[in-house]
Amino acid sequence: MNSHHLNPSPENSTASLRSVEGIARVVRVDGDQAWLEPEQTTSCGHCASSASCGVSSREEAGIGTVTSRLQARRFYLDNPEGSSGFHEGERLVVGVSESALLMAALTAYGVPLVFALTAGSLTQAWYGDDLATMLGMAAGLALGLLAARFKARRLAAKGALAPRFLRRARPDETCGTV
Amino acid sequence: MKEFALMMIGAALVNNVILARFLGLCSFMGVTTRVDTAAGMGLATTFVITVSSMADWAVQTYLLDAYGLGFLRTVTFILVIASAVQFTEMTIKKVSPSLFQMLGIYLPLITTNCAVLGVALLLVEGRMGFLNATMFAFASSVGYSLVMIIFAGLRERLVLAHVPRLFAGPPIAFIVAGMLAMAFMGFSGIATG
């Protein structure tokens, strides 16, 4: 299972930095770890209100379905209140800081692009041929993805990409109202 | 070099994808409620537009032009874009599961972003070389991201502003978008000057 480790933070504590918040549902409690699944990933942004259109988040799991996407994005967090903390089916508000989101986007998309465009420009200057430029740019892209991987590992090791538990979601709270 | 720089400025500011060509308006209105999400979406779209333009140029040159299959251009490009998005998603997931979990939400939305197809079709009209085509696509997507972030910043301020109830929400957002488009018209002087 694809996992992501969350840094726990006590309930009622508010993030000192501005954060991007989302709702996740506890799908499994495994000892002192709670596995969560984000609610909002459909193309129209619907989540708990998905009955209002054809995009349901309760469909069968399969290749490319919303359910499979949600399962791929499951993560866990240490149960900060012990085994009596989170329960299956509980909805929690989790958040990541704005700067972390921006850094993640720059790492994932910016770094490979810079490598690809630089490599393409250099190849064009040296060979002046479209095919060579294309190959150079593809090689630069691959190199950039490796650099992004290295950078992402460093960020993950520092805990910079880890969302935090903020509070329990209200019953009427949906992804659009957080 | 000067022509190259002018081409990129023209693609990003003068002929902006959103405000001059009216492409990508769904994400322009839908994902601009916060600056951070707009920036994330903008970066993801920049990556996909650039990568898919590279692939589209190759397909157009070595397949469609070479075998006289120009009539299949639109459907082929749609397939290439969907593949590019899928490739990006798989790569990000492989490169860093943490990044994928944080950013994965933006990627499926890009498949249906008409700006991606629009830029690819513009490249064909332009009859450019590979590097020029890729840089044009990159500059266009940078212009797209820039407008997304500016508009998100304006909308964040609108939330705090006292707006008459009749104009609250999308109506005032559309009015602001129109004013932003007029402001961007000022860049047209760069091309003529």
Q: What is the pLDDT of residues A94-116, one digit of tens each?
A: 877 778 878 888 888 899 999 99
DSSP letter at A13 equals -
Beta bridge partners of B156: none
User: Is B39 contained in some domain?
Assistant: yes
Torsion angle of alpha carbons B188, B152, A112, A22, nearest 10°? Answer: -170
User: Is B21 contained in some domain?
Assistant: yes
Nearest to B49 by CA among A158, A62, A113, A66: A113
Collect all residues of chain A within an 8 Å Cβ-Cβ radius of residue B131.
120-121, 124, 130, 133
Entry pTM: 0.80
The domain limits of chain A are 5-96+161-168, 101-154
Cβ distance B134 to B54 under 8 Å?
yes
When pLDDT is cut at 50, 70 and 90, the band that residue A57 belongs to is very low
Q: At what angle do helices B35-59 and B114-126 cross, to 10 degrees?
A: 40
CB contact under 8 A, B99 and A96: no
Residue located via tokens 């993030």: A15
CB contact under 8 A, B101 and A73: yes
User: Is B8 contained in some domain?
Assistant: no
Any idea what the Cα angle at residue A165 is, between residues A164 and A171, rounded to 5°? 140
More confident residue, B149 or A71: B149
Collect all residues of chain A within an 8 Å Cβ-Cβ radius of residue B101.
2, 4, 73, 75
pLDDT for the residue numbered B77: 94
The span from the CA of B21 to the CA of A56, in Å, is 33
Cβ distance A172 to A146 under 8 Å?
no
pLDDT for the residue numbered B7: 86
Neighbours of B19 (CB within 10 A): 25
Distance from CA of B41 to the nearest CA of A (A): 9
Is the pLDDT confidence value at A175 over 80?
Answer: no
Is the pLDDT confidence value at A155 over 60?
Answer: yes
pLDDT for the residue numbered B147: 95
- Give me the number of domains chain B comprises: 1
pLDDT for the residue numbered A62: 55
CB contact under 8 A, A105 and B51: no
Q: Which parts of chain B sit beneath pLDDT 70? A: 98, 101-106, 191-193
Cβ distance B74 to B120 under 8 Å?
no
Is the pLDDT confidence value at A151 over 60?
Answer: yes
Q: Structural domain of residue B142, as residue ranges?
A: 16-192
Lowest mean pLDDT among A16-25, A96-105, A169-178, B136-145: A169-178
- Rank A10-19, A61-70, B171-180 by mean pLDDT and report only the highest: B171-180
The span from the CA of A41 to the CA of B87, in Å, is 18
Lowest mean pLDDT among A36-40, A137-141, B89-93: A36-40
- Residue A159 zone, left/alpha/beta (φ > 0; ψ -120 to 50; rest): left
Distance from CA of A44 to the nearest CA of B (A): 8
Chain B residue whose CA is closest to A39: B105
Chain A residue whose CA is closest to B62: A131
pLDDT for the residue numbered A101: 79
pLDDT for the residue numbered A11: 41
Neighbours of B109 (CB within 10 A): 21
Neighbours of A173 (CB within 10 A): 15
CATH number listed for the domain at residues A5-96+161-168: 2.40.50
pLDDT for the residue numbered A7: 43
CB contact under 8 A, B44 and A109: yes
Distance from CA of A61 to the nearest CA of B (A): 17
- Copy the structure tokens of residue A165: 């538990």
pLDDT for the residue numbered B154: 94
- Asked if B40 has any chain A CB less than 8 Å from its own CB, the reply is yes
